[in-house]
Structure 1
């Protein structure tokens, strides 16, 4: 995964007495998750274009083996990112359902 720049998103600063997971907090987490998801999507698109551009038949078996190994590693990384995107989508759905930020087992606030 390429380096995702979350520097443009300031950390959330809770105000004293602020209700936990209020709309402002949910919007903040939605923005963070959407930013990460966008970066992952760009990586996946870039990989597809790179693999299409580098589809070369090497005469040397060692070069071919190196290329296949590189492709295999890249595909494993993209699969991990695809799974992460799925988890991000699940978290975005939890935010929309006002269930984000609470333990799934006991319902206690996880905290900011």
Structure 2
């Protein structure tokens, strides 16, 4: 396994149609910068969505005389709060992935140290384990639960 210390690769040019592939050198400068930008954009999208949720929750101060309207309002509010909490946790995972890009460990399985693979990272940029390690982890969890 070859992990390289990340440089802030602002000078790396990424073609508009670039998609990382398992055929290129894993975590080369272009691939690393591609995922860094993708994670930053994803975090910004979540931030915009979260601001909308906060504005919705702050603006919804309506007095509902009907008990079923109150119940609906409370259910909607709970759903919004759960969604906001999930997004907050996702932002934390994105920030950790960005830190791994900076320290050169992004894209490598935290269990085995092997490359996670470009296709898996494309599908789940915050992945910390290879498919095999993730499956083994999930089997162990099921055994402990059962």
Which bracket does the TM-score occupy, shorter chain normalised?
0.7 to 0.9
Paired position in structure 1 for 2:81: 75
CA contact (8 A) 2:20 2:31 kept: no
Task: Give the corresponding residue for 2:70.
Answer: 64
**Counterpart among 27, 39, 48 of residue 21 in structure 1:** 27
Q: Give 1:60 deviation, angstroms.
A: 1.3
Match of 2:46 in 1: 40
Q: CA deviation at 1:11?
A: 4.8
- Root-mean-square deviation (CA), in Å? 1.8
TM-score by length of 1: 0.83
Do structure 1's residue 104 and structure 2's residue 110 form an aligned pair?
Answer: yes
Aligned to 1:12: 19
2-structure distance, mates of 1:85, 1:75: 15
Normalising by the residue count of structure 2, what TM-score does the alignment of the two structures yield? 0.65
How far 1:19 sits from its partner (Å)? Answer: 2.8
Q: Secondary structure at the match of 2:64?
A: coil
Shift in alpha-carbon separation, 1:74–1:10, aligned structure 2, 3 A: farther
Aligned residues: 103
Counterpart in 2 of 1:4? none
